A and B are shown apart, each in its own frame.
Chain A
Amino acid sequence: MKNVMITLIILLILLPKSLPAQVQMVTRPDSEGVELTIYNSRDLTLVKEQRNITLKSGLNLLQFSWVDTLIDPTSIHLDVADTDIGVEVQSAIYPPKLSNTIQWYVKSENAGEKKLEVSYFTSGLTWSANYIAIMDKSEEKMSLEALVNISNNSGEDYENAHTRLIVGEIQLVEEVRTLAAGRAVEKSAKKAEDRETELRRRARGAAVATTDTAFDLYAAKAPAVAETQTLSEYYMYVLEGRDTIKHEWQKRKLSFVIEDIPVKTVHRFGEHGQRVARFYQFKNDEEHNLGTEPMPEGNVVVFIKDENNTISSYVGQTWIEFTPTGKEVKLYLGPDPEVKVEKKQMSNRRVNLLFDEKNRSLVKFDTEREFTFEIENFKTESVNLEIKENLGRDWQILSSTHDYEKKDANSIEFKLELDADSKETLKYQVRFMGR
């Protein structure tokens, strides 16, 4: 904590309202422990430091100052541990001639060592998730490694910090980085304080609401995430042990490794031009050895193993969105030239022509069209093929050779299982109303 300095100045009260005669000074107290709560949706980190500080009986003046960091000055808050009865933070001031400084008057009924907690928001600390998926040769099972990557560009070294990571979108009215630059301090002070109070309330709530998670699942590979919790609308990862994250360093820690996740290979046509796209599909649920926590959005690197169980090739890199428990994950693997779908429109007819009774002009008509899909699977294994059709508004399917599911007002989806080395033709007829 080289850039943040907390100095304790003991103030002797000689006369009421007299200027303080300042008697220097007690040493820079050691940080008893830093706790970082890093939000991944915004550039926001809540830093909490506990300090044991020896207070005199009466009024004490505490000073907190910082240089070259991205601290939001409106968010700095001093708290007294609940066990320290008789200690009260009376007021906070930003002295006019000292920049990047806040002072608190703390009244203590008795002298002695007190536990104080300073908290503030900073920007520049971020985290993101990364995944490494390794497929078996059979492409039926995979292992999934989830990593968390923490970057520190805050200007501050954090040593031996307890780290907690928050997943979820958070609303901020102003960026912490802006506030750290000293602009808009006053007008946003109130809002920032409200926000801080709210976050603090939530953070406290979470400590109580700790849930037992399936930590045992991960124990074998010694993951770095010790605990996961739900926290109001957010989800929190608590990293095991303490971490030192210096300014400009990045740290990657293993969040979980799950083996033997059953994976289905799915081919889709209709969203990637004329090509058939290939996906690995699984669900973030118990059936897939997952489902204990949401998966934060992140980059996924996919490898495949050979018969010797060693990684034999790189399949690709893809991005997954935030995936709550129970939701499906699709890893896009690019086009597959071994499955071909050729879509053709085979007919187009105008029907139900409607004429204006008065002036005999054509007012409206429907059209009936037939589409065929010539499908060929060149693979030596069967293929699950999904065909998505966007139809626009107001349509009616007149006939279809295959079952389909109506996905929404504008689209239908066919699901086919293609045998190895096979050809198939899908046809449907549709009437478009008034167009």
Chain B
Amino acid sequence: MKPTQKAKTRNFLGIAIILILLTTATINARIELVTVPERESISISIDRNNSALVQELRTVTVKEGENVAQFDWSNIDIDMNTVQLQVLEGEDSVTFGSMSIPPGSKNALMWDIQSQKSMELPVRVSYKVNGIYWNCNYTALVNDDETSLSLQADVTVSNQTQDQYENANINLEVGETFQQSLESNESKKITLFNMPQIPVQKTYTSDPDKFGKNVAIHYKFKNTRKEMLLAGKIRIYKKDKSGSRAFLGEDRIEFIPAGGEVDLYTGSARDVEVERAVIEQRQVNIRRDVRGNISVYDTDESYKATIKNHKNDSAKVIVRIHLNDFWENPESKHEYKKENVNILEFNVQVEPGEEEVINLDISGKNLTQGFIF
């Protein structure tokens, strides 16, 4: 007995996307399969919301007279509403009639095609399919004094459908096109770009509403590319004294348009502290009703935030002070920015080993309850 030759078969994994041509007479009885054209080329466009549009070129052979083209699929999640059949050449000789969906079918479409002659008809079938995704990951490497970073973006395209795509043109909405084969359940990683020396600013933020008593570390930089940055996870590293990479933390970014700012939160600082205290709170100009109950009052209030920098480097510290409603005349020796009616933001540069004290005086006006701080 001869040794069995290793079968060279294509594993379809039970998937079928078939475009066949039927003669009208046979539809209601038995289905006569006239041609099953193979896919000639395929392209996949994946937009930023991870919707994948697949376009296949196929050639069907039509007969003179009535033809029915049937497109059906199984084990693949194709959105029926998006299936389009477009004739690429010879459209003057064919007329499309109505389209039918057979009983109980969520995965077959039939087009009536009237042709003036027998001919080869190149068509494009396009449809949206669920199961093809991109995923973007960034690697940022900050320099020694943390004033600049290099940024690498890698995109992984995953095919979680049961279909396999040979030499597919894969287009990402961000302007990248590449040719790849994608087996079922296969992922491919492609480096989108690598940008060196992006200026970066490191800040320390104290905001009790967002970070409690901790001081948060942020790295901020601008997207200086012409394209938007895709949403994804970004990992931040720095080289240690021995030259190997140390992991500083990670964050997730949303879509960042060209010219937009990236603000990465990487965790809490140990060497920068902010202590907060309400120093004074008094009700003044109290107006009472006839029974002696307070109906409305003003307040005089003071607040103190003490910043301590235990680091060996100067630190840019952001201190946010939250305010309740109905205040006026805030006063401080430090400059501040009104973020909104409930947040004043102080930006203070604190030198190594130094302490900086922010004092804020404020008046409440026409309060009926509580205080400003």
A317 to B127, CA, bound (A): 13
Q: Is the CB of A314 within 8 A of B326?
A: no
User: Restricting to A281-315, which residues have a CB under 8 Å from any CB of B?
Assistant: 299, 301, 303, 310-315
Q: Does B287 count as interface, using CB distance less than 8 angstroms?
A: yes
When distances are taken between beta carbons in the complex, the residues of chain B under 8 Å from A254 are 96, 98
Task: List residues of chain A with CB within 8 A of the CB of B340.
Answer: 344-346
Q: Is the pair A250, B100 in contact by a Cβ cutoff of 8 Å?
A: yes
Question: Do most interface residues of chain B lie in helix, strand or loop, or is the interface mixed?
Answer: strand
A359 within 8 Å of B (CB atoms): yes
Indicate with 1 or 0, residue by residue over A240-283, a CB within 8 angstroms of chain B CB atoms: 00010011111111100000000000000000000000000000
B366→A314 contact, CB < 8 A:
no
B257 on the interface (CB 8 Å rule)?
yes
A68 interface residue, CB < 8 Å from B? Answer: no
Taking the closest CB of chain B, its distance from the CB of A377, in whole angstroms, is 9
Q: Which residues of B contact A337 (CB under 8 A)?
A: 228, 254-257
Partner-contacting stretch, out of A19-27, A83-91, A350-358: A350-358
Measured CB to CB, the closest approach of chain A to B294, in angstroms, equals 10
The answer, among B55, B98, B102, B260, for a CB contact under 8 Å with A311, is B55
B53 at the A/B interface (Cβ < 8 Å)?
yes
Q: A247 to chain B: closest CB distance in Å? A: 7
- Cβ A358 vs Cβ B290 within 8 A: yes
Cβ–Cβ < 8 Å partners of B335 in chain A: none
Contacts of B228 in A (CB 8 A): 337-338, 378
Assess A132 versus B84: contact at CB under 8 Å? Given A337-B254, A348-B326: yes
Known A-B contacts A247-B103, A311-B84, A314-B51; the reply to A359 vs B341 at CB < 8 A is no
* Contact assessment for B128 and A252 in the assembled complex, using a CB-CB cutoff below 8 Å: no
Give per-residue flags for A323-360: 1 if the beta carbon is below 8 A from chain B beta carbons, else 0: 00000000000100110100011111110010110111
Return the chain B residue nearest A152 by Cβ: B103
In the complex, which residues of chain A have a beta carbon less than 8 angstroms from the beta carbon of B98?
224, 243, 251-254
Contact pick for A359, options B102, B289, B366, CB 8 Å: B289
The smallest C-beta distance from B4 to any residue of chain A, in angstroms, reads 45
Q: Chain A: which residue is nearest B367 at the CB level?
A: A350
Instruction: Give B296's nearest chain A residue, CB to CB.
Output: A362
Q: How far is the CA of A253 from the CA of B110 in the complex (A)?
A: 12
Q: Given that A349-B365, A378-B260 are known contacts, is A252 also in contact with B100, CB under 8 Å in the complex?
A: yes
B195 interfacial contact with A, CB 8 Å: no
Cα distance A301–B79 when bound, in Å?
10
Q: How far is the CB of A303 from chain B (nearest CB, A)?
A: 8
* Cβ of A112 to closest chain B Cβ, rounded Å: 37
Bound-complex Cα distance A132 to B98 (A): 15
| A316 at the B interface (CB under 8 A) | yes
B72 interface residue per 8 A CB criterion:
no
Shortest A6–chain B CB gap in Å is 24
A314 touches B128 (CB 8 A): yes
CB < 8 Å neighbour of B82 from A301, A346, A355: A301
Which A residues touch B100, using CB under 8 A? 249-252
Question: Would you call B161 an interface residue if the criterion is a C-beta within 8 Å of the partner chain's C-beta atoms?
Answer: no
Contact with A along B266-300 (1 / 0, CB 8 A): 00000000000000000000011111010110000
Cβ of A361 within 8 Å of any chain B Cβ, yes or no, is yes
Interface check A365, CB cutoff 8 A: yes
Pairwise interchain contact B51-A316, C-beta atoms closer than 8 A: yes
Which residues of chain B are within 8 angstroms of A316 by Cβ–Cβ distance? 49, 51
Partner of B99, one of A252, A358, A359, A362: A252
A348/B341 contact (C-beta < 8 A), A250-B100, A252-B101, A299-B81 known: yes
A378 and B257 contacting across the interface, CB-CB below 8 Å: yes
B259 beta carbon closer than 8 Å to chain A: yes
Query: Inside 8 A of A253's CB, which chain B residues have their CB?
Result: 98-99
Specify which chain A residues have a CB less than 8 angstroms from the CB of B256 in the assembled complex: 337
Chain B contacts of A315 at CB under 8 A?
47
Interface presence of B171 (CB below 8 A) = yes
Residues on A with beta carbons closer than 8 Å to the beta carbon of B316: none
> Is A103 at the interface (CB under 8 A from chain B)?
no
Q: Is the CB of A222 within 8 A of B95?
A: yes
A130 interfacial contact with B, CB 8 Å: yes
Known: A130-B81, A313-B53, A313-B173. Is A250-B366 also a contact (CB below 8 A)? Answer: no
Contact present for B341 and A347 (CB under 8 Å): yes
Query: Of B53, B81, B128, B295, which one neighbours A362 at CB under 8 angstroms?
Result: B295
Flag whether A421 is at the interface (Cβ < 8 A). yes
A179 and B155 CA atoms in complex are apart in Å by 59
CB of B154 within 8 Å of the partner chain: no
Q: A301-B81, A301-B82, A313-B53 are in contact. List 9 more A-B contacts (CB 8 A).
A: A251-B98, A252-B99, A254-B98, A299-B81, A310-B124, A345-B340, A349-B365, A349-B366, A360-B295
20 example contacts (A-B, Cβ-Cβ < 8 A) are as follows: A251-B98, A312-B45, A313-B171, A314-B52, A314-B53, A314-B128, A316-B49, A316-B51, A334-B49, A337-B255, A338-B255, A344-B340, A347-B341, A360-B288, A360-B290, A360-B295, A361-B293, A362-B295, A378-B257, A378-B260
- A residues near B (Cβ < 8 Å) are 130, 132, 147, 222, 224, 243, 246-254, 299, 301, 303, 310-317, 334, 337-338, 340, 344-350, 353, 355-356, 358-362, 365, 369, 378-379, 421
Q: B residues touching A (Cβ–Cβ < 8 Å)?
A: 45, 47, 49, 51-53, 55, 79, 81-82, 84, 86, 95-104, 124, 126, 128, 171, 173, 228, 254-260, 287-291, 293, 295-296, 325-326, 328, 338-342, 365-366, 368
Q: Which 3 A-B pairs have the closest CB atoms?
A: A248-B103, A378-B257, A337-B255
